Structure 1
Amino acid sequence: MHKPVLTIFYQFNPWHSTIGGIQTLINTFIKYAPSEFEVRLVGTGSDRTQKVRKWQEAELAGREISFFPLFTLENDNFRSLVPTTIKYTAALLGRNFTSDFMHFHRLEPSLAALNWQGEKTLFIHNDIHSQTKAADDKNAILWRRFPAAYFALESLLVRQFSQVFSCNTDSAQLYRQRYPSMGDRVKYIKNSFDNEIFYPLSQAEREAQRHELAKRLGLSEETRFILFAGRLHPQKDPILLVRAIAALKEPHIHLLIAGDGELAAAVRTEIAQLELSSRVTMLGAIPIEELAKLHRISNAFILSSAYEGLPLVILEALASGTPVVTTKCGETPKLLAPDNGVVCEVRSPECLANALHQVILHPENYPSVSCVRTAQPYAARSVVRDVYSHMFTRWEKRNFLAIS
């Protein structure tokens, strides 16, 4: 009997350094895919030397997969005039990637799949309804300017999905309300972190490695680190983050920004104008293993987003034993407890600064064990394997009915 085939659709190259929770989740789904499945990825090429529009065998995290790059995308951390999702959707049109299972991580590309046969699943990573209402930046997402057009497209496409998975309970409930006939197909799914990469250190190891990083950066041994990791995009509001550091009157607290994106230049300008060059280090895009090391030695992780689903980076921080400070958005406020983080009721520099002050100066109130305990149910080995187990059961049932 042939293996069930899962084809994943997303506009990235997993062997190329890229920023984003969607990319990380897809990599995790590939890494932990059981041997009973054949896994394929329809993505993008990372340089002009790579053949495009051809299937090629490859290996990712020890797992053999088939990879089909639709076109070359040399840097997906920056948006171009024509959104990458539009380019990706256009490149899919006229093709047929029918599979036993098809996973889509954006709605728009599924336009090409309307007539494809097989079980289709849509993963919702953000609350699109909140995104279309976002007022902080007119460039946050293209659909914010045309919400009616998006919802018309959504209504056309969403009914083809056998399952709609959302990592945000409010978003899942909203989809059930908008599409009552699909109520049993819309489900909450836990986002998952790779527990082989993100794990805590002992207190002694954490302190030793923190001292080592401070020395490497030319900082005092007393330095305490705040970490931000993510795309420098209006959604994440990194300008607010920098202003929060300015409002935090603690010279030995240092912000590490791991990420890149269209707001990188604006962030650098803000740092210079607020005279924070000695208190903020921009690291650019870094490999996930390097990011994991920073999570393990940071005193706090911060999220200043305007809207979210459940960011993987929050789970990664908690799994590393690091408490979280966040704005009140997405699923994170429902996840955190008083002993592993602080939710800011107001999106202001002062509120974020006060929360950071509270967490960093009173670490005894936010023990590592509490952080890890909260993240543990989201470990990829159990969450992802459970998804595959249900997929395989449905596949076996369909095959049994087909030959009966």
Structure 2
Amino acid sequence: MRKPVITIFYQFNPWNATIGGIQTLINTFIKYAPSQFEVKLVGTNTDPKKPVGKWQQAEFAGREIAFLPLFTLEDDNVRSLIPTTLKYTAALLGHRFASDFMHFHRIEPTIAALNWQGEKTLFIHNDIQTQMQAAGNKKAILWRRFPAAYFALEGLLVRQFSQILSCNTDAAQLYKQRYPRLQDRIAYIKNSFDNGIFYPLREDEREIKRRELASRLGVDEQTRFILFAGRLHPQKDPILLVRAFATLNEPHIHLLVAGDGELGVEMRAEIARLGLVDKITMLGAVTQSQLAELHRVCNVFVLSSAYEGLPLVVLEALGSGTPVVTTQCGETPKLLTAESGVVCSQRTPSCIADALRKVLLHPGDYPTESCVQTAKPYAASTVVEQVYSEMLNRWEQRNSIALPV
């Protein structure tokens, strides 16, 4: 019997040091795909010298996959004048990908898929209602300028999906209310982190690695580290984080920023304006293994977002034994315990600073074991494997041939 084929659609190259929870989740789905499946990825290229528009066999995370780059996108960490999603959607038009399973992580590209045959799944990564209503820069998501148009398009496209899976319980409930006829197709799904990469160190090892990091950065060996990791985008509001760090004003505390994006220039200007150049290090985009090393040695991870689903980076921090400080957004406040982090009651510099101070000055209140235990239900080794197991069962049922009596 042939293998079932899963084709994943998203505008990125998995071999590039890209930033974003969607990309990380897709990488995890590739890595943990059982051998019973044939895996394909329709993405983008990063090297203009390499061909596009042709299937190629490749290896990712020890897994053989078929990869089709639709066009060249040299840096997907920074938005261009024409949204990448629009380019990707246009590149899909005219293609017809037949596949047993198709996974989509943005709805716009599924315009091209309306007549494709196969089981289609749409993953919802943000609380779309909060995302549309969020105050601030309208450029954070262009659909915020035209919400009626977005929901009209969504209403046209959602009917084609066999499953609509959201990592945010509020978003899952919203979709059930918005599309009552599709209720049985809509469900909450746990986001998952790669627990083979994100794991804690023993306390003595952690202390040694922290001192080594301090030495590499040329700061006092007693320095404790706050980590932010993510795209420098209005959704994540890194400018608010810089102002919160200025408000914190504690000695021997250093902020590490792993990520890149359109707010990079503005963020550096704000750091300089506040006189924090020696207390904040901008690391740029880092690899997954480098991020894992940072999680294992930092004292606290911070999230200053305006809206979220369930950020993978939060699960990665907790899985590494690091407590989390978060704004009141997305699913994170619902999973954190009193021993694994602090939820800020207000999204202000002073409130975030107070939460960070609480964790930094009382580390014993947030033990490694509690953080790891909070993340445990979201480990990819169980979550992703369960998803594939259910997919395989459905495929076998569809393709079973009744034996003669």
TM-score normalised per structure 2: 0.99
Q: Structure 1 residue 238: deviation in Å?
A: 0.2
Alignment-derived partner of residue 298 in structure 2 = 298
- What is the CA–CA distance in structure 1 between the aligned matches of 2:146 and 2:266, rounded to whole Å? 26
**Structure 2, unaligned runs of 5 or more:** none
Alignment-derived partner of residue 309 in structure 2 = 309
Alignment-derived partner of residue 268 in structure 1 = 268
**Amino acid corresponding to residue 144 of structure 1 in structure 2:** R
3-state secondary structure, aligned to 1:159? helix
Moved more, 127-136 or 356-365: 127-136
- 1:239 pairs with 2:228: no
Q: Structure 1 residue 130: deviation in Å?
A: 1.3
- What is the CA–CA distance in structure 2 between the aligned matches of 1:61 and 1:115, rounded to whole Å? 32
**Amino acid corresponding to residue 353 of structure 1 in structure 2:** A
Alignment-derived partner of residue 255 in structure 1 = 255
Matches of residues 1-400 of structure 1 in structure 2 within 5 Å?
1-400=1-400
Deviations 1:191-240 (A, max 9, x none): 00001100000110111110111111111111000000000000000000
Aligned residues of 1:248 and 1:354 also touching (Cα < 8 A): yes
3-state secondary structure, aligned to 1:132? helix
Aligned residues of 1:251 and 1:279 also touching (Cα < 8 A): no
- What is the CA–CA distance in structure 2 between the aligned matches of 1:403 and 1:235, rounded to whole Å? 55
- What is the CA–CA distance in structure 1 between the aligned matches of 2:361 and 2:344, rounded to whole Å? 17
**Amino acid corresponding to residue 376 of structure 2 in structure 1:** Q
- What is the CA–CA distance in structure 2 between the aligned matches of 1:392 and 1:101, rounded to whole Å? 10
Aligned residues of 1:89 and 1:111 also touching (Cα < 8 A): yes
- What is the CA–CA distance in structure 2 between the aligned matches of 1:11 and 1:393, rounded to whole Å? 29
**Structure 1, unaligned runs of 5 or more:** none
Deviations 1:262-309 (A, max 9, x none): 000000000000000111000000111011000000000000000000
Q: Structure 1 residue 372: deviation in Å?
A: 0.1
Q: Structure 1 residue 128: deviation in Å?
A: 1.6
- What is the CA–CA distance in structure 2 between the aligned matches of 1:196 and 1:261, rounded to whole Å? 28
CA RMSD after TM alignment: 0.9
3-state secondary structure, aligned to 1:139? helix
3-state secondary structure, aligned to 2:7? strand
**Amino acid corresponding to residue 396 of structure 1 in structure 2:** E
- What is the CA–CA distance in structure 2 between the aligned matches of 1:402 and 1:120, rounded to whole Å? 26
3-state secondary structure, aligned to 1:254? strand
Deviations 1:144-175 (A, max 9, x none): 00000000000000010000010000000000
- What is the CA–CA distance in structure 1 between the aligned matches of 2:16 and 2:216, rounded to whole Å? 27
- What is the CA–CA distance in structure 2 between the aligned matches of 1:62 and 1:403, rounded to whole Å? 38
Q: Structure 1 residue 117: deviation in Å?
A: 0.6
Aligned residues of 1:94 and 1:112 also touching (Cα < 8 A): yes
3-state secondary structure, aligned to 1:342? strand
**Amino acid corresponding to residue 202 of structure 2 in structure 1:** S
- What is the CA–CA distance in structure 1 between the aligned matches of 2:92 and 2:50, rounded to whole Å? 18
Q: Structure 1 residue 402: deviation in Å?
A: 8.4
- What is the CA–CA distance in structure 2 between the aligned matches of 1:198 and 1:358, rounded to whole Å? 24
Identity across aligned pairs (percent)?
72
- What is the CA–CA distance in structure 2 between the aligned matches of 1:144 and 1:27, rounded to whole Å? 29
Deviations 1:313-357 (A, max 9, x none): 000000000000000000000010111100001000000000000
**Amino acid corresponding to residue 93 of structure 1 in structure 2:** L
**Amino acid corresponding to residue 300 of structure 1 in structure 2:** V
Deviations 1:341-387 (A, max 9, x none): 00001000000000000001000100000000010111101110100
Q: Structure 1 residue 251: deviation in Å?
A: 2.0
Aligned residues of 1:233 and 1:263 also touching (Cα < 8 A): yes
Aligned residues of 1:101 and 1:120 also touching (Cα < 8 A): yes
- What is the CA–CA distance in structure 1 between the aligned matches of 2:106 and 2:194, rounded to whole Å? 22
- What is the CA–CA distance in structure 2 between the aligned matches of 1:187 and 1:233, rounded to whole Å? 28
TM-score normalised per structure 1: 0.99
Moved more, 301-310 or 214-223: 214-223
